[in-house]
Chains A and B, each alone.
Chain A
Amino acid sequence: MGSMRVALMVTCVNDAMFPETGKAVVTLLRRLGVDVEFPAAQTCCAQPMVNTGYLDEAVPVVRTFVDAFAGFDAIVTPSGSCAGSARHQHGIVARRTGDAGLAAAVAETSPKVFELTEFLVDVLGVVDVGAYFPHRVTYHPTCHSLRMLGVGDRPRRLLEAVRGIRLAELPSAEECCGFGGTFALKNADTSIAMGADKARHVRSTGAEVMVAGDNSCLMHVGGILSRQRSGVRVMHLAEILASTEDAPLGAVVGGGR
């Protein structure tokens, strides 16, 4: 990976609400020999605007995106949803503007966006990332990673290679958790009904930890699990993969030490 320039697309949700996930990706990629960069000009993939119908508002955000990530060989993100947005929706936004320059920039950037498990398995060619996580875990495949990106069994294979982990099968795993971006607010009652069913399935597995590749979905189901005082913790997949025997979860990364 020596000559490959790899950017971390941390996503706005992780940047503002779940920095530990971003740190975990940095730890993990450095451990695997990738000198990941964080282009500081990045903000958001524009999905909140696009999926609520505000396509005009998405235009400057997509411009910021393509400018921030120009010149990188690979753009890695710990979010199936945001990867899907960059790969499938930026083109729609760009075409609507009629700006050929923006469309060309999107065509250049979009195919370089990888969801974390795609990058690990397809680009780096690793399944065993040397992680250690001695807990009972259940995995929820998020909709956009599953159906928009088609990550398939990559997350599962990565989890199965984690030492000490005990994976519990999640019933109705492929059913949506009910987050859905602004759907969670605009149709809060339906969203909560879906999330409550997901939480019920998670609890039925007896897992200590529910893991997924999207913190937005985890924030939703985790919020319900917490309100129910279920004791089940939600964690991003990157944090489990970053965890090792020497540096278990929560250890400080980076810092040049």
Chain B
Amino acid sequence: MTGTFVGMPAFPVAAREALGDTQLRHNLAHATGVIRAKRAAVVGEVDNWEDLRLAGAAVKERALTDLATHLEELERMLVAHGATVHWARDAAEANAIVVGIAQGHGVDEVVKVKSMVTQEIDLNGALAAAGIAAWETDLAELIVQLGGDLPSHILVPAIHRNRAEVREIFLREMGGAGRPAPADLTDEPAMLAAAARAHLREKFLRAKVGVSGANFAVSETGTLVVVESEGNGRMCLTLPEVLVSVVGIEKVVPTWAELDPLLRLLPRSSTGERMNPYTSTWSGVTPGDGPQEVHVVLLDNGRTRALADSVGRQALRCIRCSACLNVCPVYERTGGHAYGSVYPGPIGAILNPLMQGTGDKQVDSLPYASSLCGACFEVCPVRIDIPEVLVHLRSKVVDAHRSDTVPSAEAVAMKGVAWTFSDARRLARAERASGVAGRVMKRMFGVTLPGGRAASGKLPGPDGGWTSARDLPAPPAESFRAWWQRVGRLGRQGGGES
């Protein structure tokens, strides 16, 4: 069980389809542009942002370095405060635990706080299979759920939808899930939010079981932390009688003091706010206040696999802010669905292969879904060097195929190129050959670049190559090296020795 959508094609194929959707391109360019500008403004006003980033990275590194100790402390403190702690190795175990708790209370519905980890394990699917409806209460998650859709962003999962589409979904689907949308619903944001509020209110007041994730788990006091914007989380965390929280083991933060930089980094990086509107913290059960039965499911599901990767383990520092998605030029154009996972964008391109391992064609395509422009690393609040991890994972993908009996065309080509580049004489021969090819190209394809250089137009061959939309300059008759040997070196001060 993984966080990857079943049956998704590899990234280049999925991206091609997404790129053809002009409405999607428009929605994404607009939304990521707005959120990028908001983040830049609120980050720009913090004088010591780089110090904060370093502190955030150091806190998460310390937690990961001695993870077992902190997790055991977390369990001890949670139990001391009346919570029940469960350990789950994978999605199936975690789902079985949550379904079991819900069934133990005889409920046919639960209300949910927005949570990436429950998306990762497809908890809603497991609950549905047991006849239990899981109601998403975050506005964007509600839009995704009612639309029978998949999330395409970590923070704003319905980023691919515009407000006209949201209105359509609400009018069409709300009635089947509970209180219908008002018939005179417009696409005004305030009206859409009011419809969602009225729809969700009856679910909050009725539900006996709430399900959440956690942004952080402070081990010294056994305290879970949820940060959110809409207040739906606060409702789910306080109104039901039973609360079940699924928490990835990398969420542990040893002390409250160490939580400080993370709570300052997260809202500015994610929603572009100085502070998020709601921060809920709870330590087990508080008699007479809030849920009187509290469960915490500590989940591995590939995290220890990522932890064992000396380069990739830094990905476990991720606090799911989505800053890397919002600045990524690839994500901005393809959207999140092309990544085939609830974790899309640059962080998804490393988290999925790290947690699941390489070897699956779709997962193996993810580390290549990047131009390595470095914008993601620049904005990451916990300084995950995503380009470094991407290149590292590419090498793992390549290395896994080294013993293939029939090597790929790419592997053969790379070996050939490396052989040529290992000796300047070989390279010089190749350049002489390309010069000849250039003269042939000049005759066959009559494109002239501004400035006068000959180029090829569209060349025959499989689609998607260089020349489908890009002219290619003809190779020059003389390489630089040949020129240097012929005349360039003669201009040296000493008379041309080199």
A residues near B (Cβ < 8 Å) are 10, 12, 14-20, 22-23, 26, 30, 35, 37-44, 46, 48-58, 60-61, 63-64, 68, 89, 92, 143-144, 146-148, 174-176, 178-197, 219-220, 222-227, 231-233, 235, 253-256
Q: Does B190 contact A (CB under 8 A)?
A: no
Given contacts A51-B372, A190-B19, A194-B330, contact A224 B498 (CB under 8 A): no
Among candidates A144, A190, A222, A254, residue contacting B374 with C-beta atoms closer than 8 Å:
A144
The answer on a CB contact under 8 Å between B19 and A176 is no
The answer on a CB contact under 8 Å between B370 and A35 is no
Given contacts A147-B374, A220-B470, A226-B471, contact A26 B488 (CB under 8 A): yes
The answer on a CB contact under 8 Å between A194 and B479 is no
Contacts of B395 in A (CB 8 A): 53-55
The answer on a CB contact under 8 Å between A176 and B449 is no
CB of B135, distance to nearest CB on chain A (Å): 36
Q: How many residues of B contact A (CB 8 A)?
A: 80
Q: List 28 A-B contacts (CB under 8 A).
A: A15-B480, A16-B431, A23-B483, A37-B492, A40-B481, A41-B424, A42-B424, A43-B420, A43-B421, A51-B394, A52-B394, A52-B414, A54-B398, A54-B414, A60-B418, A146-B374, A184-B466, A187-B368, A188-B12, A189-B19, A192-B469, A194-B330, A194-B371, A226-B449, A226-B470, A231-B450, A253-B491, A255-B491
Contacts of A186 in B (CB 8 A): 12, 368
The answer on a CB contact under 8 Å between B498 and A190 is no
Q: Does B27 contact A (CB under 8 A)?
A: no
The answer on a CB contact under 8 Å between A52 and B398 is yes
Near A by CB (< 8 A), chain B positions 394-441 give 394-399, 402, 410-411, 414-415, 417-418, 420-424, 427, 430-431, 434
Contacts of B472 in A (CB 8 A): 219, 223
Instruction: Known A-B contacts: A26-B491, A49-B414, A233-B451. Give 14 more (CB < 8 A).
Output: A23-B483, A37-B492, A53-B398, A54-B415, A56-B402, A63-B422, A179-B371, A180-B372, A185-B466, A187-B330, A187-B368, A189-B12, A190-B333, A194-B371
Q: Does B34 contact A (CB under 8 A)?
A: no
Among candidates B329, B334, B427, B451, residue contacting A12 with C-beta atoms closer than 8 Å:
B427
Contacts of B430 in A (CB 8 A): 16
In the bound complex, what is the Cα–Cα distance between A194 and B132 (angstroms)?
44
In the bound complex, what is the Cα–Cα distance between A86 and B466 (angstroms)?
26
The answer on a CB contact under 8 Å between A255 and B487 is yes
